[in-house]
Amino acid sequence: MTATASTTTVRHTRVPTPKTPPPSNRLRAWATRAPLLPALIFMIAVTQLPFVATLVISFFDWNALYPDARSFTGFGNYSEVLTDPDLRKSVLTTILLTATVVLTSLVLGLGLALLLNRRFKGRGLVRTLLIAPFLLVPVAAALLWKHVLYNPEYGLLNGLLHWVGGDSATQPDWISNTPLLAIEASLVWQWTPFMMLILLAGLQSRDSELIEAARMDGASNWQVFRHLTLPHLRRYLELGALLGSIYIVQNFDAVFTITSGGLGTANLPYTVYQSFYQAHENGLASAAGVLVVIGSIIIATFALRVVSSLFREEVSR
């Protein structure tokens, strides 16, 4: 399914290949291809086949606790997924969570990348400090925010409020008051370093002569940023946004750890997990899974276009 999407998007990027070799070379051609086959066959077997199975199961009314009552239901599961208010809410939550985290970490990452692109004392150390959040095991990071920062009784956030405001300081219960924001903050903290790294790579590939020339002509910092840096960074911003989206749409660890999907924070991956792992609704879970795939294909089509444009430059270089 995704393979078809990719072939259509890259058709225009194909590099010219020599004319078809004569039949005597057919053996040679297979010898060239052979090293590719193990990896290809493995990928098809482990990723594409299960998806086809999910697709088939999604058309059945099938609760694992009543295996004998399995019956074909057509698009019944899909209409149920789309009309169930809880499931509809999890679609909305997924979109909100992904958009908020990607946009915020992108903007923060851009600011940090611009700061880090300048020379200053200890730049290497600051870079290392900034990357650290991204290198924590995701469950560990989520536990850190849940217990060490957010805890209303002895968390660092309320501790700081206590320090500053004295004994009468407010001591909010962060996760109960703003559950989705609590998850988003922890994810922004983890993903900002990733965005910064990509954008820093983009900044460092800028043509420094062009910028110097613009400065000679009297361009201000803002003009250089607006008319040179930002257009150059555009593709890196797109790449960061799309890769971030692909990973965050699929986020399970933070939702599972911080709220266990409660308080209206269940996103689609968590809902799929819950509907088959706890509710044993195999058909419904599969239909929801297929919907996640459709959403991802929409994002992925854009993603592949961006990557293929970067790739085209790489090839032509």
- Is there a contact between 179 and 264 (Cβ–Cβ < 8 Å)? yes
The residue with tokens 């851009």 is 110
Smallest distance, another protein to C-beta of residue 273, A? 7
- Range in contact with another protein (rule: CB under 8 A) among 71-79, 176-184, 222-230, 251-259: 251-259
Q: According to CB under 8 A, which one of 90, 158, 229, 265 is a site residue for another protein?
A: 158
CA distance 77 to 288: 8
The residue with tokens 């500053």 is 164
Binding of another protein at residue 146 (CB under 8 A)? yes
Binding of another protein at residue 148 (CB under 8 A)? yes
Q: According to CB under 8 A, which one of 154, 177, 207, 262 is a site residue for another protein?
A: 154
DSSP state of 281: B
- Range in contact with another protein (rule: CB under 8 A) among 71-79, 176-184, 209-217, 281-289: 281-289
Smallest distance, another protein to C-beta of residue 190, A? 10
- Range in contact with another protein (rule: CB under 8 A) among 82-90, 172-180, 187-195, 226-234: 187-195
CA distance 109 to 192: 5
Burial state string for 115-135 with b = 16 or more CB within 10 A and e = fewer than 16: ebeeeeeeeeeeeeebeebbe
Binding of another protein at residue 206 (CB under 8 A)? no
Binding of another protein at residue 163 (CB under 8 A)? yes
- Is there a contact between 74 and 59 (Cβ–Cβ < 8 Å)? yes
CA distance 179 to 105: 19
| Minimum CB distance to another protein smaller for 57 or for 101 | 57
Binding of another protein at residue 277 (CB under 8 A)? yes
Subset of 121-140 contacting another protein (CB under 8 A) = 121-123, 125-140
- Range in contact with another protein (rule: CB under 8 A) among 72-80, 97-105, 226-234, 283-291: 283-291
If phi > 0 it is left, if psi is from -120 to 50 it is alpha, else beta; for residue 118 that is beta
CA distance 251 to 277: 17
